């Protein structure tokens, strides 16, 4: 045996029979066929059986068998669709659609300034929505659960239903959230760390609850209802109190090995740089988030007398000054924009997304995404000679995020019914 052979046999242990990755039977890419059919019907809105067979490259007989099961389960129904190219002659074609009334779910987003909630049906139609201002304060878990209970009661009343009509609740909170086990490891709205949030809320509401961080929720909203429906790989970067990111890889949210990935706000853009609220230095968030802008405003504009003002009011004043031509105010936004460009160029170089969506309240501060910022991203991303990914600004409100929470609940219901045992992989 040569030296090389020895090294090889040491590298491969007794588990080295065969080669290639061990992919579990029900992995992300091989969902049960019945579930794939359901997802195809849901995405299309209305689709004939023959088209489903064609798109999934399976026999029409298989589609007929599996859709009968879906119809029997009450998840899918036959709908009459007008035939193309025929002037009303003969029987109308029969298509399949999701039975909208099969399930109702609630989506709730808790934020530092405003809580929002929606109720949607099984086909994703909005039934009711609600926005409630919130005192910006860190809460103990029982108070937070109380707030959620109260929000749910109010949105149910608005929808004219009782809460037992709901099949699941999706819940979004800012911070580090492990979606798989429903634990909020850290959140700016919670005093404690490592809080088993999903379990606590489930116990109070008596309903299945899925929890995720707010950046993933807005990404889900884009994936389910927005610009990302037809894209396989895209990023959503959220800028408000912090800088968050959600990433879709092959039409699914990428969550990392331990459910805590994509913390763009805490990637470092400066060695030993500005102090971040996570306790480390040089994080992107420490240069771009609202508290970072407010900190600079207080210093550069000599606003020490305004230290008692809310961050929001400080930022509004800062924006007004910048618009009026104040050089110091402008330079604060300009510098933040350059750091943002640095962070986004890193995203481009790492992931090569088709699209980057910038989303969040700060989007109204157009200095952050001025043409200079976009040009800077181009300059910092690798020059391959190909066009750079598109960057879109979506300055939508908190209700969008609640929609993402509803998508989380919808997928939990679907996974529970069609892929038992895989509920935690819901998205």
- The contact set with Zn ion (CB under 5 A) reads 266, 276, 278, 280, 283
Least Cβ distance, residue 190 to Zn ion (angstroms): 17
Whichever of 178 and 222 has its CB closer to Zn ion, that residue is: 178
Whichever of 171 and 284 has its CB closer to Zn ion, that residue is: 284
DSSP line for 74-110: TSEEEEEEPPTT--S-SSPEEEEEE-GGG-EEEEEEE
Whichever of 9 and 280 has its CB closer to Zn ion, that residue is: 280
Least Cβ distance, residue 349 to Zn ion (angstroms): 20
Least Cβ distance, residue 295 to Zn ion (angstroms): 14
Whichever of 208 and 265 has its CB closer to Zn ion, that residue is: 265
Least Cβ distance, residue 283 to Zn ion (angstroms): 3
CA distances from 327 to 109, 316, 344, 376 (A): 37, 16, 25, 20
Whichever of 269 and 276 has its CB closer to Zn ion, that residue is: 276
Least Cβ distance, residue 68 to Zn ion (angstroms): 53
Whichever of 186 and 303 has its CB closer to Zn ion, that residue is: 186
Least Cβ distance, residue 398 to Zn ion (angstroms): 23
SS (H, E, C) 322-357: HHCCCHHHHHHHHHHHHHHHHHHHHHHHHHCCCEEE
Contact 231, 265 (CB under 8 A): no
DSSP state, residue 122: T
User: For the CA atoms of 297, 319, 358, 274, what is the dihedral angle to 10 degrees?
Assistant: -10
Whichever of 266 and 338 has its CB closer to Zn ion, that residue is: 266
User: For the CA atoms of 74, 75, 78, 84, what is the dihedral angle to 10 degrees?
Assistant: 180
Contact 74, 84 (CB under 8 A): no
Whichever of 202 and 263 has its CB closer to Zn ion, that residue is: 263
Query: Nearest Cα to 425, choosing from 72, 243, 216, 181?
Result: 181
Least Cβ distance, residue 268 to Zn ion (angstroms): 8
| Residue labelled with tokens 């911070």 | 175
Least Cβ distance, residue 271 to Zn ion (angstroms): 14
Tokens encoding 349: 């170089």
Tokens encoding 309: 């003002």
């Amino acid at each position: 045996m040569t030296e090389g052979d020895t090294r090889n046999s040491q590298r491969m242990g007794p588990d080295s029979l065969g080669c290639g990755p061990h992919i579990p039977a029900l992995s992300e890419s091989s969902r049960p066929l019945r579930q794939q059919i359901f997802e195809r019907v849901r995405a299309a809105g209305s689709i004939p059986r023959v088209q489903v067979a064609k798109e999934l490259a399976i026999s029409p007989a298989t589609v007929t068998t599996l859709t009968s099961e879906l119809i029997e389960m009450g998840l899918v129904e036959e709908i009459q669709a007008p035939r193309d190219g025929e002037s009303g002659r003969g029987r109308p074609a029969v298509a399949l659609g999701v039975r909208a009334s099969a399930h109702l779910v609630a989506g709730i987003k808790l934020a530092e300034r405003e809580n929002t909630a929606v109720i949607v049906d099984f086909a994703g139609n909005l039934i009711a929505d609600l926005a409630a201002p919130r005192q910006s304060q860190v809460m103990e878990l029982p108070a937070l659960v109380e707030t959620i209970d109260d929000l749910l009661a109010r949105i149910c009343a608005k929808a004219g239903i009782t809460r037992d009509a709901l099949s699941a609740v999706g819940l979004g909170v800012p911070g580090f959230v492990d979606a798989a086990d429903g634990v909020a490891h850290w959140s700016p709205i919670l005093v404690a760390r490592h809080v088993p949030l999903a379990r606590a809320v489930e116990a109070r509401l008596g309903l299945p609850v899925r929890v995720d961080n707010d950046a993933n929720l807005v990404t889900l909203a884009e994936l389910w209802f927005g610009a990302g429906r037809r894209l396989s790989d895209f990023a959503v970067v959220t800028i408000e109190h912090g800088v968050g990111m959600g990433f879709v890889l092959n039409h699914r949210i990428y969550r990392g090995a331990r459910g805590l990935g994509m913390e763009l706000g805490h990637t470092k853009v400066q060695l030993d740089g500005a102090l971040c609220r996570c306790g480390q230095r040089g994080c992107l968030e420490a240069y771009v988030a609202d508290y970072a802008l407010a900190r600079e405003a207080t210093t550069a504009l000599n606003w020490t007398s305004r230290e008692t003002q809310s961050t929001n009011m400080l930022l509004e004043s800062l924006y007004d000054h910048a618009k009026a031509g104040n050089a110091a105010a402008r330079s604060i936004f300009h510098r933040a924009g350059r750091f943002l460009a640095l962070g986004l160029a890193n995203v481009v170089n790492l992931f090569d997304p088709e699209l980057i969506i910038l989303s969040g309240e700060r989007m109204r501060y157009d200095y952050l995404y001025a043409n200079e910022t976009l040009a800077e991203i181009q300059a910092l991303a690798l020059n391959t000679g190909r066009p750079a990914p598109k960057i879109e600004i979506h300055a939508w409100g908190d209700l969008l995020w609640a929609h993402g929470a509803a998508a989380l609940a919808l997928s939990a219901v679907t996974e529970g019914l069609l892929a038992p045992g895989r509920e935690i992989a819901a998205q």
